[in-house]
Amino acid sequence: MGTAKATVQHATDYRGILRNYVGGEWIASTASQTQQVINPATREALADVPLGTAEDVDVAVSKAQEAFWSWRQTPPQQRVQCLYRLKTLMTERLDDLARTVTREHGKTFEDARGSVIRAIENVEVACGIPSLMMGYGLEDGAARGIDEDLVRQPLGVFAAICPFNFPAMVPFWFLPYAVATGNTFIVKPSEQVPITQQEIFKLIEQCGFPPGVVNLVNGARDVVNAILDHPGIKGVSFVGSTPVARYVYRRAAENGKRVQAQGGAKNVLVVMPDAVLDKSVANIMGSAFGASGQRCLAGSLAVTVADRAGRAAAAIADGARALKVGDGLDPAVDVGPVISEQAQERILGAIQRGLDEGARLVVDGRGAAENRKGFFVGPTVFDQVQPGMQIAQEEIFGPVLGVISVDTLDDALQIIEHLPYGNAASIFTQDGKAAREFRYRAPVGNVGINVGVAAPMAYFPFGGWKASFFGTLHGQGRDAIDFFTERKIVITRWF
């Protein structure tokens, strides 16, 4: 494979501007502005993405509406044949897709590969829709001779608004379920990483979906607002930062749409005195520094309990020092770049704030930023962090881990309780009673017990509490079936 720019072919115009996939065709956006997509490891320009318009959304919605009625009447067993083909094609192209993810996002190839596999797993689960979508009924359920049944029906056009950190996976928390249940769909990828979806839609094109069932619209804020306001869109799935999630939730709901909005995080990793230290530290490294800390499930605070000799804190710092920073396509690299120069500056600013607040910088990743080839920040560890410090409260979304030392598990749980976010928390321990108390009390949607990244498999909903989630029904699993269908009760009497 050559550069990503060379791979997009008909999905771009002659100037390398990405096209939208609407109504089964690659069409140019009506946008007058574009933004460069940059490989964050090399600063190479990969493509130009149009900053789409309300008109682009309108065209996509009308194509999706036109496709809906016939798609809805296609038996579920036939609908999923398109998804079986998509699974096969994505699996065949797994390594190419992973390389595209690494090139536009920066995460290591293995990590990128894992995220594409997670996307494919959602397709696999959605292939079970004929069973998953079944309702239930009861003869004589209403009275003698009067039967009562519940059936599920699709609603129409749905849209997903996606973040930069999982270019392949996040749209697939929604897309397979939406179309398997008989809806039609629009994906709005992050303008920072639009190429992976472009590549996936080139596969979607070959799967037999009727024109208009699955659509891709590139853009940023204007496209988001048009999605939130368009009367033809029945529901919106959003994943991104908390301020935007809150905004999307409010505006989409005001417009009468179904909405699920996943937001930011500040995830705590609790290390108990009896933790198996080497294995726990390996997990903590993966959690805090994998994808350069740009995961909504990344651990960003390690809370060490009764670590009086500082053994756990020292092992965490040693682990961070051993990680190699560089281009994610280099197999020796553990930590790739961060997404952009702006993100790099924001993260370096957070490190400075930690110093100003009086935390002790024990592993300083700022040196990696001197590599001007890309946007690098090395693994960074603070200890002597206090729970009230800004670096202990805000989502940094970079490779920065704060270590807080406390006396008891109760102290650790109180730190989690007082955080605004509730995405994930993990405990490292050999003590079942401590683990049980932790899972019982931690106010988060995803709990890890000796697991650093508690990422739910596709058949479970992706949890998220407090300011990490706005809505009721989450992505993936059975929640997805509920989100993308309306229930109808039918009461029948035959005279």
Q: Enumerate binding residues for ligand NAD (CB under 6 A).
A: 161-166, 170, 188, 190-191, 220-221, 224, 239-241, 244, 262-265, 296, 395, 397, 423, 462, 464, 468
Minimum distance between the CB of residue 186 and ligand NAD, rounded to whole angstroms? 12
- Closest listed residue to residue 40, CA positions, set 420, 365, 340, 284: 340
Minimum distance between the CB of residue 167 and ligand NAD, rounded to whole angstroms? 10
- Closest listed residue to residue 461, CA positions, set 285, 260, 283, 301: 260
Distance separating the N- and C-terminal Cα atoms of the chain = 68
270 Cβ contact partners less than 8 Å away, ≥ 6 residues apart: 302, 303, 305, 409, 412, 425, 426, 427, 428, 429, 438
Question: Is 160 or 412 the residue whose CB approaches ligand NAD more closely?
Answer: 160
Minimum distance between the CB of residue 238 and ligand NAD, rounded to whole angstroms? 7
Question: Is 221 or 324 the residue whose CB approaches ligand NAD more closely?
Answer: 221
Minimum distance between the CB of residue 164 and ligand NAD, rounded to whole angstroms? 4
Instruction: Say which residue the tokens 């379920």 belong to.
Output: 177
CA distance 274 to 430: 6
CA distance 78 to 305: 54
Question: Is 39 or 262 the residue whose CB approaches ligand NAD more closely?
Answer: 262
Calculate the alpha carbon distances from 23 to 88, 145, 186, 251 in Å. Answer: 23, 47, 10, 27
Pick the catalytic residue from 127, 162, 207, 296. 296
DSSP state letter for 461: -
Question: Is 32 or 131 the residue whose CB approaches ligand NAD more closely?
Answer: 32
Minimum distance between the CB of residue 132 and ligand NAD, rounded to whole angstroms? 22
Q: DSSP of 45-76, one letter per residue? A: EEEEEE---HHHHHHHHHHHHHHHHHHHHS-H
Minimum distance between the CB of residue 295 and ligand NAD, rounded to whole angstroms? 7
Q: Is 94 exposed, middle or buried (0-12, 13-18, 19+ CB in 10 A)?
A: middle
Question: Is 395 or 479 the residue whose CB approaches ligand NAD more closely?
Answer: 395
Residue in the shown chain whose Cβ atom is closest to ligand NAD = 240
Question: Is 21 or 462 the residue whose CB approaches ligand NAD more closely?
Answer: 462
Active site residue 127: no
Minimum distance between the CB of residue 470 and ligand NAD, rounded to whole angstroms? 10
Question: Is 162 or 168 the residue whose CB approaches ligand NAD more closely?
Answer: 162
CA distance 43 to 107: 14
CB atoms inside a 10 Å sphere around CB 204: 25
Question: Is 170 or 270 the residue whose CB approaches ligand NAD more closely?
Answer: 170
Amino acid at 232: G
CA distance 313 to 50: 46
Amino acid at 372: R
Minimum distance between the CB of residue 140 and ligand NAD, rounded to whole angstroms? 44
Tokens linked to 23? 């109504």
- Closest listed residue to residue 211, CA positions, set 82, 19, 28: 82
Amino acid at 268: V
Catalytic sites, residue numbers: 296
